[in-house]
A and B are shown apart, each in its own frame.
Chain A
Amino acid sequence: MISLIRSEIYKIRKQSKTLYALAAILIIEGFVIVSAYYQGTGIIDLLLANLKDSFEFKGNLLNGNLIIYLILNSLWFHIPLILMIIISGFLTSEYKDRTLETVMLQPVSKLNFILSKYVVSIIFTLLIVLLLAVSTFLVSYWIFGKGDLVVYLDGLNFFESEEAFYRLIYAFISGANSMIFFSVVSLTLAVILKDATKTWIVSAIFLICSNLLLKIDFQNEFLNELFFSKLTDSWQYFFYYKIPYSTIYFKNLMLFGYTLITMIIGIIIFKRRDIQV
């Protein structure tokens, strides 16, 4: 199992798509920083326009913490989309290049093979989120400095710099769990569909639907609390003024359950299916 994981990690390191993933993450980060640099002040002015009749503001809200929060918001769509495309490719490329048949001719169990794919996908996801977090913190603080964070979530919430820092860190950790879910889903879709293009399209549709369903009120408490799409936003809860820890724990735990179920489904399908390309 360990040697399979090592072998998968080696493959990822050698694949150019890994570099594309890293580049995509940094490009997204760059776009947010550049747009915030040029438009940020104007947008904060617009946000606070109604308050300017009654208040004078002292201090800078366009700071590193706000930029990190804006980049963190790429966890809604951009980062999971990139992860789903790259990670589904871990398996679809094996089907396409027929390397899967070669591997299966070796004394390798199908269970261990697919399990190692899932393990490496999770490691890859965690590394991407870590890279995003570290680079975002470093660049944002370096260019924009520290300061209070303002977030609109159930009102205008202001957080002092130190508090914003730990909230952002926790949000990245919680967001990593959501990203793992999407990564595992994409690998399971790759198991089912085999073809890269089909998997990308279905993954993108899954992500879009998941985002849309998050907004829909099912008029049913059970669905509203337990449906998978309602569980992927736990990281955003760190920006309520009073952090609802129990909701965050519940959502993360449930989503982890969905991740495990999705993984088990993928493993069962892979094990039962003959390796035909």
Chain B
Amino acid sequence: MKRLSFIFIFFISLNFISGQEIDNDLLQIKKRMDSIKSFNANIELDVDISFINMPTKYGKVRYKQGESTKVTSDDFIMLPKRGLDLTLNEIFRHPFITVNRGEEYHKDVLCKVINIIPTSSKANFSIATLFMDVRAKRILKSEISTKTEGVFTTSMDYKNYMDALPGAVEVQFAVNSVKIPLRFLGKETEVDRNAIKKEGSKTGKIFLTLSEVQIVK
């Protein structure tokens, strides 16, 4: 009897999952994001990684619907592999289901938290958690577990209540210390190999500040 009830519950659950709908609030946000056909902005990049010292870099960011976000600069720049997708185009590209995780505060704003689970193997992430400001119809934070590039946590700050695109973005990720080709970079380079091994991966952050944002809808 117990075995029969388990099978019954299992099939009921399976049916529930397969029939799960996409969160309505997310659809509202997606609709708002999809209305952005393209945008251009100036971008300021600051790197916060313990073993990297880099001055503030400047560039231009350009987005066109259906294409990936492009950043250009006269200088050498390091861009996070995730976090520049301000319209969350990459997340919505392949079919997915959503799971409601309740509500949580993020920077004093009560957010609706949902998980996005892709249903297509083509998606390059395994799960994403979104913190949605339902009233302002925008995402405040995302945690994306990629299949090959680790976990990226993106936190977005907006200049005012109306903005669809953030004015500042903080991207957090795990990063391993660098390998040093001693012969190339000079023998003065002192490397504490044990310390590097112990350190393992570290948390790195990149801060992006957008200005002069021009949106085409």
Which A residues form the contact surface with B (CB < 8 A)?
Answer: 39, 43, 46-51, 53-61, 69-70, 73, 76, 147-148, 150-153, 155-160, 163, 211, 215, 233, 236, 241
Whether B19 sits at the interface, judged by CB under 8 Å, is no
Contacts A73-B186, A153-B188, A233-B188 hold; do A148 and B76 have CB atoms under 8 A apart? Answer: yes
A56 and B79: CB pair below 8 A? yes
- A153-B188, A155-B50 are known contacts. Are A57 and B76 too (CB-CB below 8 A)? yes
B55 touches A158 (CB 8 A): yes
* Residue from A39, A43, A59 in contact with B73 in the complex, judged by beta carbons closer than 8 Å: A59
Q: What residues of chain A lie closer than 8 Å to B187, measured between beta carbons? A: 73, 76, 211
Proximity string of chain B (145-165) to chain A, C-beta cutoff 8 Å, 1 when within and 0 when not: 000111010000000000000
Query: Are B181 and A46 in contact (CB-based, < 8 A)?
Result: yes
Among B174, B189, B204, the one with the most A-chain Cβ atoms within 10 Å of its Cβ is B189
Total CB contacts across the A-B interface at under 8 A: 108
Query: Chain A contact residues: over half helix, strand or loop, or mixed?
Result: mixed
Task: Find chain B residues with CB under 8 A from A51 CB.
Answer: 78, 175-176, 178
Quick check: A49 and B189 within 8 Å, CB to CB?
no
B53→A48 contact, CB < 8 A: no
> Complex formed: what's the CA distance from A59 to B72 in Å?
9
Q: Are B73 and A58 closer than 8 Å at their CB atoms?
A: yes
Determine if A58 and B188 form an interchain contact, defined as CB atoms under 8 angstroms apart. Answer: no
Q: Is the interface of B mostly helix, strand, loop or mixed?
A: loop
Some 21 contacts from A to B, beta carbons below 8 A apart, are A39-B184, A46-B179, A47-B178, A47-B180, A50-B177, A50-B179, A51-B178, A53-B81, A54-B174, A54-B175, A54-B204, A55-B80, A57-B78, A58-B77, A58-B79, A59-B76, A73-B186, A155-B50, A158-B53, A215-B190, A241-B53
Contact B149 A47 (CB under 8 A): no
* B181 and A50 form a contact (CB under 8 A): no
Partner of B75, one of A39, A59, A76: A59
How far, in whole Å, are A155 and B53 apart by their CA atoms in the complex? 7
Query: In the assembled complex, which residues on chain A have CB atoms less than 8 Å from the CB atom of B51?
Result: 155-156
Q: How far is the CA of A157 from the CA of B180 in the complex (A)?
A: 13
With A55-B80, A157-B53 known as contacts, the answer to whether A47 contacts B150 (CB < 8 A) is: no
**Cβ distance A217 to chain B, nearest Cβ, rounded Å:** 11
0/1 string, B36-56, CB within 8 A of A gives 1: 000000000000001111110
* In the complex, B185 has a CB within 8 A of chain A: yes
Residue of B nearest to A150 (CB): B76
Give complex CA distance A41, B16 in Å: 53
Interface check B131, CB cutoff 8 A: no
Contact check, B52 vs A58: say whether CB atoms are below 8 A apart: no
On whether the beta carbons of B81 and A49 are closer than 8 Å, the reply is no
Report chain B residues within 8 Å CB of A147: 76
Contact A53 B178, CB 8 Å, known A147-B76, A157-B53: no
Say yes or no for B207: interface residue by CB 8 A criterion: no
Additional pairs, 12, CB under 8 Å, beyond known A53-B148, A55-B80: A50-B178, A51-B78, A56-B80, A57-B79, A59-B73, A60-B76, A61-B76, A76-B187, A76-B188, A150-B76, A155-B51, A160-B75
Q: Which residues of B contact A61 (CB under 8 A)?
A: 76
Complex contact B178–A152 (CB within 8 A): yes
